[in-house]
Amino acid sequence: MFSRRLVGAAAAAAAVVAAGAVPRGGGLLALLANQCRFVTGLRVRRAQQIAQLYGRLYSESARLVLLGRLWRRLRGRAGHVSAVMAAVAGFVWDEERIKEEELQRSIDEMKRLEEMSAVFQSPGVERHPPEPKSQTEGNEDSGGKKAPWEMVMDKKHFKLWRRPITGSHHYQYRVFGTYTDVTPRQFFNVQLDTEYRKKWDALVIKLEVIERDVISGSEVLHWVTHFPYPMYSRDYVYVRRYSVDQENNVMVLVSRAVEHPSVPESPEFVRVKSYESQMVIRPHKSFDENGFDYLLTYSDNPQTVFPRYCVSWMVSSGMPDFLEKLHMATLKAKNMEIKVKDYISSKPVEMGSEAKATTPSSERKNESSCGPARIEYA
């Protein structure tokens, strides 16, 4: 429509010039400029009227949801269109925050594994993680058939399984392990502290919190990490949420990939768009006494061109290495009393508080009134 108006304006201007009404050259350009200003002004006025109409029909949160959906539909098109829409829409927490149901599913999976072994319920007996039900548990394909778990590594305090992800060439991984020389609080804090991780994880190029949700306590992070040579470095944009249930003696951390308008894809890195991680920690006694079991479930698509078995080998060998580095960093923080943020005491919201959350200040006040004493190191 805009181009047709310009063509019409050009034709009209040419007719006027041909009739001798105005001099050639500058007169034609002036007419075109006037027509452009008229059409642009008309478009702007229409956009304002539409915005006012939607402002009367929808609430602010509903408008953000609509803009977010429109941005996601346009993000695969021209880059400048996606950038403009992203800047206007912002990040829609109502759709992207991690819900309590996601946290509870991870905790329920831990309970299910515990119930599979009577050893877990026997005090004073060395704990051994049970093997998942390979014949009845797993991902379902379109025909309803469930993929079995396959044992990859079996050690005394460390077991690793994998199972194929339906509809892809990748695996989901599960680790069940035990540590007896650090406390659950120390291990949990070191895992969450982004500043300390930059010191103990040599693969980290960048790790920072982009945005926080005061309602649920969810955080959006941007993580850039080295990959083995000759692969490019990868970057992740993901949302995470953690919860500490002191009554049921369990901790949980859930993360998954999202898109955030303030962190567009960079040609320097390969963006990992499929990523999920759930960590559940069950203390043997309490949060501040040595000994706990943990369940880690993990999957991602690193966007590599290597065969499936190569990627599986890298993940299967890299996961134990990362967990051991995390364990050693926790021991170092404990023995050297390195200051690490205590997320258990400073957490703004616990599970079950989404519906009754008021302001961040009141939530922190309530948490501090009933939470454990704050410690200065992990």
Between 77-91, 143-157, 317-331, the lowest mean confidence (pLDDT) is in 77-91
Please report the beta strands in the chain, taking only residues with DSSP state E, as ranges in sequence order: 150-155, 158-164, 171-179, 204-212, 219-225, 234-245, 250-257, 270-272, 275-283, 292-300
Q: How is residue 79 written in tokens?
A: 């880059």
For the segment 48-63, the average pLDDT, to the nearest whole number, is 67
d(CA 182, CA 289): 8
What interhelical angle do 60-74 and 26-57 show, nearest 10?
Answer: 130
The answer to whether 138 and 148 are in contact (CB under 8 A) is yes
Residue 356, SS3 per DSSP: coil
pTM for the model:
0.67
What would the pLDDT profile of 56-88 be if each residue is shown by its tens digit?
666 666 666 666 666 666 555 544 454 454 455
pLDDT band per the 50, 70, 90 thresholds, residue 35: confident
pLDDT tens per residue, range 103-131:
999 999 999 888 876 444 455 445 555 55
62 token code pair: 């509903």
CA torsion 61→67→72→77, rounded to 10°? -170
Express each pLDDT in 231-256 by its tens digit: 899 999 999 999 999 999 999 999 99
- The pLDDT score that the predictor gives to residue 108 is 94
**177 in helix, strand or coil?**
strand
Q: What is the DSSP letter of 238?
A: E
Determine the Cα–Cα distance for residues 102 and 252; give it in Å rounded to an integer.
10
DSSP 278-316: EEEEEESS-TTSS-EEEEEEEEE-----S-HHHHHHHHH
For 337: left if phi > 0, alpha if psi spans -120 to 50, otherwise beta; the answer is left
Q: What is the pLDDT of residue 181?
A: 96
**pLDDT category, 373, cuts 50, 70, 90?**
very low
Q: What is the pLDDT of residues 179-214, one digit of tens each?
A: 999 999 999 999 999 999 999 999 999 999 999 999
For residue 24, is pLDDT > 80? no
Identify the band that residue 363 occupies on the pLDDT scale cut at 50, 70 and 90: very low
Question: For position 73, what pLDDT does the model report?
Answer: 61
- pLDDT greater at residue 374 or residue 247: 247
